[in-house]
Every structure is written in structure tokens, then in C-alpha cells.
Amino acid sequence: MFQKKLHEMMEANSYVSIYKHCDDLSLFGFGLIVACNDEHFILASFDPHGVNDGLQLCKTDTICKIEYNDFYARRMEKLINFYESKHEDYHFQDDFIMKLLEYSKMNAFIVSIEICDSGHFEVIGLVDSLYEEGCRILLINQYGSEDGYAEIKYSDISQINSNEYDERYRRILYKGKGGQGSVKGAAGTH
């Protein structure tokens, strides 16, 4: 239902609020649509203060409401301009899931991944490997420590957040511990 509007917003480079939780309309994402197709969209997010808040990949059919060209969008645009918050020019085409994971791996961004529309991010960490049908994630816990690996099929991924606020603080903690990307003593690394 919203694919056409998402595409229009992307082409116009217009700010949009996207609601996915119809039972709680205080929860929404705000930003610019940088990629969309019939199945997924990628939102270049900004936090409520107008600061770059990473990327979100979501299923298009999870949207319950879109708002644009409203007072909130104008307020946010002023804050974004004031802070000179920017997202780079992204060029995601075709397989958005794999492309976002490749981009996150290349930039060493921590990702949070929701599986099978669970409503929770079950897998949080650094993209370690990408395969034809899935990926391996080096798990990073809330303390910034390596916590093993998770293997995920792309077809089971329902949402990805990359380099958002929560992921950035884990990355800071991880780097502060001297994290280099391998779990010492974890299964399969002996």
C-alpha cells in the first residue's frame, strides 16, 4: 500500500515519519527514504534532536502510517540544518538486506537484527561474514564484549538497524576493550 508513496518521498528527498506500531503511535522513525522496493525500505534516520541516527531496513508491509510535510518534519529539518547533520549518499540497489550488511561490515558498524517479525532485536554485533543465503554476526553484548557468533538466513531477517545510537554506544565500548573482531576461545576458533 505504501510503496508508491515511499518511492515518491525518496525521489523528492523529503523527510518522512514512519509508524510501524499502530498500538503505540509515539514510536516512529524519522528521516529520508534512501532505498525502497515492494518488500523493503531503508530509512536514513535522525534522532529527535536532529542528529544522524544510522540506517533502518524494514519490511514495507509493516508500515501502518506515514506522515510528511507536517510541523514535525519542518521542526526536524531546522534542527538537522542547525547541527549540519548529514547522511552520505547511499546507493543501495537490488538485495537491500545483503547490501546494508555489506555496507555495515565495510564500515565496522554494529547492527541490530530482528528475526521473523519477532518485535525484538535478537542478534546484535559486527558483520563477520556474508554468504549466498545468510551471514555470520560476531555478537557484542551491552558491555562491549564479544559473546560468540550467530548465523542467520537473509530470508529470516525482518529488520536491521545499523549504526544507530544503541549500536554506536556498543561500538564505543567494544573499541575501548580493544576489540578486533574475533572471539578467543569461542566454538570454532580454537
Instruction: With beta carbons less than 8 A apart as the criterion, state whether 88 and 56 touch.
Output: no
* pLDDT tens figures, 92-118: 888 999 999 999 999 999 999 999 999
Mean pLDDT of 79-91: 90
- The pLDDT score that the predictor gives to residue 148 is 97
pTM: 0.89
Where do the domains of the chain lie? 1-93, 95-190
* Averaged pLDDT score across all residues of the chain: 91
Mean pLDDT of 34-51: 95
Give SS3 for 126.
strand
- The pLDDT score that the predictor gives to residue 101 is 98
* pLDDT tens figures, 111-138: 999 999 998 999 999 999 999 999 999 9
Running DSSP on this structure, what letter comes out for residue 150?
E
Q: Do domains 1-93 and 95-190 have the same CATH topology?
A: yes
Q: From CA 9, how far away is CA 48, in angstroms rounded? A: 20
Cell of 17: 515519519
- The pLDDT score that the predictor gives to residue 181 is 46
Q: What is the 3-state secondary structure (H, E, C) of the chain?
A: CCHHHHHHHHHHCCEEEEECCCCCCCCCEEEEEEEECCCEEEEEEECCCCCEEEEEEEEHHHCCEEEECCHHHHHHHHHHHHHCCCCCCCCCCCCHHHHHHHHHHHCCCEEEEEECCCCCEEEEEEEEEECCCEEEEEEECCCCCEEEEEEEEHHHEEEEEECCHHHHHHHHHHHHCCCCCCCCCCCCCC
* pLDDT at residue 27 is higher than 90: no
Q: From CA 142, how far away is CA 74, in angstroms rounded? A: 35
CATH no. of 95-190:
2.30.30.100
Cell of 58: 524494514
* pLDDT at residue 186 is higher than 80: no
Fold of the domain spanning 1-93: SH3 type barrels. (2.30.30)
